[in-house]
Amino acid sequence: MATKSRAAWSGVFPATLCPFTNDHDIDEEDLARYLTWVAGHDGIKGVVVNGHTGEITSLRNTERARVTAIAAQAVGDRVKIISGVCAEGSHDAIGQAAAAKEAGAEAVLLMPPHHWLRFGRTSTTAVGYVRDVNDAVDISIILHQYPAWTKASYSLAEMTEIAQLSNVVSIKMGTRDMARHHYDYMSLKASAPDVSIITCHDEFLLASLLEGADGALVGFAGYAPALICELVAKALEGDLAGARAIRDRVDTLARAIYAFGEPSADAHQRMKMAAYLTGKLKSPVVRPPLRPLPEASIATMAEALTHAGEDVKRR
């Protein structure tokens, strides 16, 4: 059974990229180098591999386990290793969680089955899915909460019940419903004080930190870890002026990479390109069905990054 500790699961947890070769194989050497760079920043509590930023939906289950093992070997002695689990049924999810544990993960980021997005689900099914993984594999679980406007989003009542499960240590809060954010945070704190609530709202990171969060699990921390660690620290310390100053820098970079709005569609592909342009990755290759970004989009991004003060090394 996991040890529940709000402090242990608070702070910054970057959702990391996964580099590929030109043949779409995992570039294991560059992955280890990149993860070492990310984990080397003060304030990083753990790295999340096999998230949406890491193109989990294009990875086979054996590859997901391999990515986890590379992360554990590269930085597992310094930070927590969290591996995403994306499955359509409980048996597959249990198998992925068991493989992640064997590969060296301390926790899994448990996404909801994506067929729920189309068909919805009952509350019994939603809670039962998490309970199935909780009861079958002794590994810490971070619940991945999807936006409130989707049919896969957990209600507050469901999150409250799920937070009582023995291995659930944290909730990655992604409702994107700021009208409820503080209320949900305080309600969950009252019922499960040892379960951390970490925001994944890249597009309004500071606002969600101030409204109620114990940290952040965001893809942007895999591009600019130092900035995100500083922003989160100042926000949680109550240094609003300092946090706003850093937020201005983060927003400038986010506009260069994501443009405006919620990260979606080609957002992770754009971040990978930005990481390539600035020398953080050796290649911008993405897995199909994604296709290379248009040259005009790359040129616009390179110009925007340069104007944002980034050292653009490649074109």
Classify residue 3: in a domain, yes or no: no
Residues 6+ apart with CB under 8 A from 108: 82, 83, 84, 85, 96, 97, 100, 101, 133, 137, 139, 140, 141, 142
How does DSSP classify residue 26? B
Distance in angstroms (rounded) separating the CA atoms of residues 197 and 184: 10
* Host H or E run for residue 143: strand 140-144
pLDDT at residue 261, as a whole number: 59
**Is residue 315 included in any domain, yes or no?**
no
pLDDT(219) > 90: yes
- Give the pLDDT confidence of 176-204 residue by residue, as tens digits: 999 999 999 999 999 999 999 999 998 88
Q: Identify the H or E element spanning 198.
A: strand 196-199
Pair 179, 148: CB distance under 8 Å: no
Distance CA 136, CA 3 (A): 16
Measured from the Cβ of residue 299, the count of other Cβ atoms closer than 10 Å reads 12
pLDDT tens-digit map of 93-150: 999 999 999 999 999 999 999 999 999 999 999 999 999 999 999 999 999 999 999 9
The arithmetic mean of pLDDT across residues 3-9, rounded, is 93
Residue with token string 């930070």 = 79
Residues 135, 174: contact at Cβ < 8 Å? no
Around Cβ 289, how many Cβ atoms within 10 Å? 7
The pLDDT of residue 153? 98
CATH code for the domain in which residue 197 is found = 3.20.20.70
- CA dist 231 and 249 (Å) reads 10
Q: State mean pLDDT over 218-246.
A: 96
Contact between residue 121 and residue 127 where contact means Cβ atoms under 8 Å apart: no
Computed on alpha carbons and rounded to an integer, the radius of gyration of the chain in Å comes to 18
**Does residue 296 sit in helix, strand or coil?**
helix
| Domain assignment of residue 62, yes or no | yes
Do the beta carbons of residue 275 and residue 281 sit within 8 Å?
A: yes
Say if 279 falls within a structural domain: yes
Judge whether 313 lies within some domain: no
| 257 occurs within a structural domain | yes
Q: What is the tens place of the pLDDT at every residue in 165-178?
A: 999 999 999 999 99
Q: What is the C-alpha separation between 167 and 138, in angstroms, rounded?
A: 7
pLDDT at position 136 is 98
Residue 4 lies in a domain: no
Quick one: tokens of 29? 């050497």
The model's pLDDT over 302-314, given as tens digits with 9 standing for 90+, comes to 999 999 999 998 7
Residue 277 has pLDDT above 80, yes or no: yes
* pLDDT score of 164: 98
Residue 253 lies in a domain: yes
Q: Count H helices, E strands: the chain? A: 12, 8
- Characterise 105 by phi-psi region: left (phi > 0), alpha (psi -120 to 50), beta (else): beta
The mean per-residue pLDDT over the stretch 277-293 comes to 95
| pLDDT of 208 above 80 | yes
What is the span of the domain harbouring residue 177? 11-307
Average pLDDT over the chain reads: 95
CA distance 30 to 174: 30
pLDDT at 260: 65
Q: What is the pLDDT of residues 237-268, one digit of tens each?
A: 999 999 999 999 999 999 999 876 566 668 88
Query: How much is the pLDDT for 314?
Result: 77
Do residues 202 and 173 make contact, with C-beta atoms less than 8 angstroms apart?
Answer: no
Question: For the chain, how many structural domains are there in total?
Answer: 1
Percent of the chain residues topping a pLDDT of 90: 92
